[in-house]
Amino acid sequence: MKLVIAEKPSVAQTIAKVIGATEKKDGYLEGNGYVVSWCVGHLVELATPEQYDARYEKWKYEDLPIFPKEWQYRVSAGTKKQFKVLQELMKRADVSSFVCATDAGREGELIFRLVYHQAGCKKPFERLWISSMEDEAIKEGFANLKPGTEYDALYEAALCRERADWIVGMNATRLFSTLYGQTLNVGRVMTPTLAMLVMREAEISGFKPEPFYSVSISVAGITATGERMNEKKDAETLLEAVEKEKKALVSKLSVVEKKEKAPVLYDLTGLQRDANRMLGFTAQQTLDYTQSLYEKKLCTYPRTDSRFLTEDMEGMLPRLVEKMKEKFGFHGHIVVNPKQVINNKKVSDHHAIIPTMLVNDAVFAELSSGEQKVLSLITARLLAAVGEPAVNRETSIEFLCAGHTFTAKSKQTVKLGWREIWEWILGKKTTQEDKEEEENAAKYVDVISEGKSFPVQNPELKEGKTTPKKHFTEDTLLSAMEHAGAEEMPEDAERKGIGTSATRAATIEKLVRIGFVERKGDKKTKYLIPTHKGTALVTVMPEQIQSPLMTADWEEKLLQIERKEYPADEFMGGIEEMVNDLVKTYKVIED
């Protein structure tokens, strides 16, 4: 008898159905030589400092730093019943081995291993590693189970991440809270993210708009603009000169057709960014909707940081594309270019997020509105990613008048290419500015030729003001998190930035939940604004804690630990050394 342990009940039920474990019991299912049960997220968690020593119940500076010699764990208060079920199943005499079927990633590995060790189990186990909850994917996964020992390095990296976060979080939170006489929550990923928000708001509030001026002219119905000027009198002088000149020479005419490559497939961060920008969803909402679609077998594993597929998937792509076309009622032709989305070297644990064949039979009315929209995004991205390039005609004209150059530019779509299916599924939002540019573009070359002079009409002085950077939205913050510290990281570093695709949404939600950040704005656009409490925390944080470079460096080293390229002991030693220096050398910032 094999005991299969999944990460949550819904996944366990899906697996149980496929492998024939259909007899329902209290906390598990059984049948066909299998027992299938589940965790409920993290059943086992790190002990708090006071569980190591009662003196840590009171936060005192002199007790810092806290470095456990032997790490202790406890069963979460709300999950003791399910842990007991798993522990008893593990001890059953007829259960000879296990299958770890938690989510195939760093955190999923940690969830299973902590339960396994907390239960004091020594029985052998294998690993189920799948990227789809489709029946065939589950069957294939069980036919190709891997020895659990092959994932020891992944577990080691997960332990390092969890314990290092504990060391930094517990020590830094107690350090700053005791020094400043108030609770100041500090986190290795959370604090640098908050710092980016605070710094952006400081830039905005400290910004002083400056006026600028330009002169525009109309030539043969085309509006062209001169260079920006800082002094109004200079612009007024130019306006007078243009009014006297009355003619403009076409000094340069350039018409170029440029190809716009199809977009890459979605990783989780890319999907969250588009869902925020286009649909107004928070990063957490998008993850929740995508996780639900995954469990309903309608898309592949969501917590991925890859934007490509593997070579063995190439053969199924034309059929999947055809099925998705049918489902969304698109009758146009899509030339499938699989090589655009295939790259084994850029797929680590999981490939990009794509819809499954089962979408073709899905009843959309049975899905929530959010699930429908996210599934449409994922499908549109797949069909676009394998499509032909879009082709745009870009026209640039320079007019010479009164010794100054005036420029007009336009862009006209010549061939929709991949955009045709994208706009079919998601719709096209065209602004009045876009329409005018399209209309103007067509007539540029018809009426204008290089070396010709034309009368100048409607010369006009225009005044504007410089504007500050915009407040962060979840879209732009996710991008900033993804690329934070990238300029200091090695060129060949595969993962840069703060956190991972799987953790960024939770970081943003935690900042909001504990009152460091609030969402402001209308239904269409929500901005993330640091609160006074959040700003005050960052003000007293030393650079090493609030810098994205530290956490970006961590992510790179954790990846190296997964690959057995960097020793875990060296990583943890570096963390303890950094925290010890922080505790011993930090000086209170006076008001």
**Residue 475 β-bridge partners:** none
Work out the number of other CB atoms within 10 angstroms of the CB of residue 389: 16
- Indicate if the pLDDT at residue 452 is higher than 70: yes
Percent of the chain with pLDDT over 90: 81
pLDDT of residue 591: 57
Q: Which residues are catalytic?
A: 301
> What CA–CA distance (Å, rounded) separates 567 from 553?
15
> What CA–CA distance (Å, rounded) separates 153 from 164?
16
Q: How far lies 341's CA from each of 105, 145, 415, 517, in Å?
A: 22, 27, 21, 37
Burial of 185 (C-beta count, 10 Å sphere; 0-12/13-18/19+): buried
Mean pLDDT for 81-100 is 96
Q: Residue written as tokens 């499509």? A: 387
Residue with the bigger pLDDT between 498 and 278: it is 278
pLDDT of residue 436: 60
- Indicate if the pLDDT at residue 387 is higher than 80: yes
> What CA–CA distance (Å, rounded) separates 587 from 267?
42
| Strands 453-465 and 211-219, sheet pairing | antiparallel
| CB of 450 closer than 8 Å to CB of 250 | yes
User: 3-state class of 397 per DSSP?
Assistant: strand
User: 3-state class of 155 per DSSP?
Assistant: helix
405-426: b (≥16 Cβ within 10 Å) or e: ebebbbebeebbbbbbbbebbb
| CB of 293 closer than 8 Å to CB of 375 | yes
Q: Which range (94-103, 433-442, 469-478) has the least confidence?
A: 433-442
Where do the H-state alpha helices sit in 259-300?
Answer: 268-274, 283-295
> What CA–CA distance (Å, rounded) separates 551 from 557?
10
| Distance separating the N- and C-terminal Cα atoms of the chain | 66
> What CA–CA distance (Å, rounded) separates 347 from 267?
11
pLDDT of residue 492: 44
pLDDT of residue 493: 46
| CB of 552 closer than 8 Å to CB of 498 | yes
- The string of pLDDT tens digits covering residues 19-76 is 999 999 999 999 999 999 999 878 999 999 999 999 999 999 999 999 999 999 999 8
- The string of pLDDT tens digits covering residues 538-560 is 999 998 888 888 877 888 899 89
Closest CA to 46 of 23, 71, 79, 10: 71
pLDDT of residue 281: 96
Any residues with CB less than 8 A from the CB of 406 and at least 6 apart, and which?
215, 216, 217, 219, 224, 225, 226, 248, 398, 399, 400
pLDDT-based confidence at 78, cuts 50/70/90?
confident
pLDDT of residue 554: 84
- The string of pLDDT tens digits covering residues 487-526 is 655 444 445 678 888 889 999 999 999 999 999 998 788 9
Closest CA to 355 of 377, 379, 371: 379
> What CA–CA distance (Å, rounded) separates 249 from 454?
7
Question: Phi/psi at 324 (nearest 5 deg)?
Answer: -70, -35
Mean pLDDT for 301-324 is 94
Mean pLDDT for 206-232 is 95
Handedness of CA 262, 267, 273, 275 (dihedral sign): positive
Handedness of CA 228, 232, 238, 243 (dihedral sign): positive
Mean pLDDT for 149-169 is 95
- Mean of per-residue pLDDT scores for the chain: 92
pLDDT of residue 136: 93
Instruction: Respond yes or no on whether the N-terminal peptide bond of residue 65 is cis (omega within 30° of 0).
Output: yes
Mean pLDDT for 176-182 is 92
Give CA torsion, residues 412, 415, 419, 420, to 10 deg.
Answer: 120
Any residues with CB less than 8 A from the CB of 55 and at least 6 apart, and which?
63
Tokens representing 341 are 């989305």
Question: Phi/psi at 12 (nearest 5 deg)?
Answer: -60, -40
> What CA–CA distance (Å, rounded) separates 41 from 106?
13
pLDDT of residue 496: 62
pTM equals 0.88
Residue with the bigger pLDDT between 168 and 524: it is 168
Q: How far lies 192's CA from each of 197, 490, 557, in Å?
A: 9, 20, 18
Work out the number of other CB atoms within 10 angstroms of the CB of residue 553: 17
